[in-house]
Amino acid sequence: MKFALIHRIPGRARLRAERAFGLRTANTLADGLYGIEGVEGVRVNPRVGSVLLLYSDEAVLAAACQLLNCADQLLGGEPERYVPAPAQPQGEDGPPSLFPFFRYLFLRPILPFAVNVVNAFRASTPYLKRCWDSLRRGRLDVDALDGTAIAISLLRRDFRTVGLLTLLLGFGDSLERYTQKKSLENLASHLALQADKVWVRRDDVDMLIPFQDLAESDLVTVRDGTVIPVDGVVAEGTASVNESSLTGEALGVMRTAGSSVYAGTVVEAGEIFIRPTSIGRDTRMQQIVRFVENSEQLKAGIQARYEKLADRAVPFTFALAGLVFLATRNLARAASVLLVDYSCALRLATPLAILSAMNEGVGRKVMVKGGRFLESLARVDTVVFDKTGTLTQSRPEVAQVIPVPGAEAVQDEDEVLRLAACLEEHFPHPVAKAVVHCAEERGLQHAEEHAEVEYVVAHGIASMWRGKRVLLGSRHYISQDEGVDVSCMEETISDLARQGYSLLYLAVEGRLEGMIAMRDPVRPESAALIARLREMGVPHVMMLTGDDERTARAVADSLGITEYRSQVLPEDKARVVQELKDAGRTVLMLGDGINDSPALSCADVGVTLRDGSDLAREVADVVLMGGSLNELVTALELGRGTMRRIHGNFVATMGLNSLFLAGGLIGMIQPGLSAVLHNLTTLGVSLNAMRPTLGGR
């Protein structure tokens, strides 16, 4: 089986096999890849034969490619074909039943010896088969340990111990499936998001309608930075679509007429009109399932490290059992040693701790999209804030509307505001929402009279209005990029800047026609948050903004921020974050706009707010769903608490199982008791993993 590299960006690559393969092959490949030093995350999709790899450097990627292209040797033969999983019988994944314990304790003693022998062989067959499969492929793993211990008990004709071992192992498997299933279900129930409204084109007019009124005959309009609300086919237009929620690949793909698009993906640039093919609950639930599956499969680095460490102990356990048998000629002691393994508890407790923390986070209005981001949250030493809509309120206000004296295209304040709202109504940025809201408050009708809108990220908007080219945006965009002279208003501009206002400039046919002064009040919790971060031991706090130096300095001084950069473009934000990472810092970036998305992607942890743009919510690793910056503290404490919990479980697992191992060596613990103690340890650390990380706070 050969793999081809189909997509790569620094630190992330996707490879695809010649064909689909089975789940056991997927698990083997994942285990093999995690054995490579420098592999930070693996997601294997057997249904499409795909492997998503997160890695530290190019040498690691080369080693991973070599391993995958020698997969046949790793698998010990031809990989099995992909077979769709059969439907589970009703109640298959319900709570573990206690009836097998009742049968073992009360029915087994009164059954004929022959019946107990048959039951012992029948119960042990699945474990012996898994053991044989592992040994045939040259793998010394937990399946091999369990199967060998059961085989020894069968050889000793100790059918009572065989019954106890298979009972405990079966109960442990059921408990693992059930706890993971319940954790995933709880997480998914918190993530069921509802679409409220959607833009459609009817009779050549764009209108905003409730989602429940959407019909399959409608054309859904989706523009820059906006989430696609339905599955469908592009009827008109061209756009670059970010499909990372579906494919895991961060680069946008072009979608034109006839292309399929999917709910939950985001238009990065362009405009498309979609004919829906799937509307409603099914589509949204598919998004939830994809998110939950990705969150579980993208393991935290600490989980992979602990699993590798535990797996390395398996050959040692086999060797120790062999030495015990050679020294004592006692199969019971050897079996007691084999029944103590370290990876069982770690493989269950570590992902449970992560899932429980994610579930607890959502309950506290903090959505963390995967275990590795919890690990990164625990290591954050630098927090970088975007200013507008983040440190300042997410709902800026229009303070003044200023028409330019002698303007030709617009006559008064209302005309300036009406035209600006007409252009801004299609975009999700807080400034755009503020302009539209102000026009609505003044009772201004701003029905579309313009042609296709061109949105220049972090700069402004261009369109045709009554046959004239109209521009709306920042001074950099209007003056430097488009060459519009703003000197006639220089005195007014300076006065407004001194007062801390941000300015939008409106130009028609290359002439400045008006300005809108935006008031962007600082969030009431911002100053306290900065102080709290320093109390938590975060040494570096920085603010980035596209505003001029005077406005940036005023905001930074009011919040107690000593590091800030002004007049920063989107690509500059990402560059600043990368420079901090290159200096050895673990960087958390918090922003809310389309223009913050490159920096969010670049950071070790990208964080956005509930009211952030669709694209920002898509690329961010953490979403603060309550809309308060104080939830950032919750996220950091959640990450730190989860890592402490995982480390504590690791110490308990290694310590207790080592004691049981020593007891088996000296003959104090028999195989049955060894299995009981081992399973109790697994249950204990699993219950500990599922406790609330932040307690009652």
Query: Is there a contact between 44 and 51 (Cβ–Cβ < 8 Å)?
Result: yes
Question: What SS3 state is found at 535?
Answer: helix
Six token digits for residue 476: 């950099």
Print burial letters for 513-538: b (CB count within 10 Å at least 16), e (below 16). Answer: bbbbbbbbebbebbeebbebbeeeeb
Six-digit token pair at 61?
């990627």
Active site residue 386: yes
Greatest alpha-carbon pair distance for the chain in Å reads 106
Write the secondary structure of 327-383 as one string of H (helix), E (strand) and C (coil).
HHCCHHHHHHHHCCCCHHHHHHHHHHHHHHHHHHHHHCCEEECCHHHHHHHHHCCEE
* CA 318 from centroid of its chain's CA atoms: 38
- Bridge partner residues of 278 (DSSP): 231
Measure the CA–CA gap between 524 and 629, rounded to whole angstroms.
Answer: 10
Q: How far apart are CA 339 and CA 142, in angstroms?
A: 9
Exposure string of 66-99, with b = 16+ CB inside 10 Å and e = fewer, is ebbeebeebbeeebeebeeeeeeeeeeeeebeee
Matching residue, tokens 């006639």 = 488
Q: Are the beta carbons of 546 and 392 closer than 8 angstroms?
A: no
**H/E element, 384:** strand 382-386
Can you read off the two tokens belonging to residue 389? 């809509």
The DSSP call for residue 105 is I
- Residue type, position 678, single letter: H
Give the helix/strand (H/E) hosting 276: strand 266-278
Place of tokens 């994942």: 30
Q: What separation in angstroms does the CA of 632 have from each of 7, 538, 556, 616?
A: 33, 12, 19, 16
Long-range contacts (CB closer than 8 Å, 24 or more residues apart) made by 333-336: 333/664, 333/665, 333/667, 334/152, 335/149, 335/152, 335/153, 335/156, 335/161, 335/671, 335/674, 336/663, 336/664, 336/669, 336/670, 336/671, 336/673, 336/674
Which backbone phi and psi does 607 adopt, to 5 degrees?
-125, 140
State how far the Cα of 660 lies from the Cα of 654, in Å rounded to an integer. 10
Residue 540 has phi, psi (to 5 degrees) of: -120, 120
Kindly give the residue spans of alpha helices, DSSP state H, lying in 536-670. Answer: 549-559, 570-582, 597-602, 614-619, 630-665
Rounded to 10 deg, the angle between the 301-328 and 23-34 helix axes is 90
Catalytic choice (311, 386, 596, 611): 386
Task: Report CA 527 to chain centroid distance, whole Å.
Answer: 29
Q: Are 22 and 79 in contact (CB under 8 A)?
A: yes
**Residues belonging to the active site:** 386
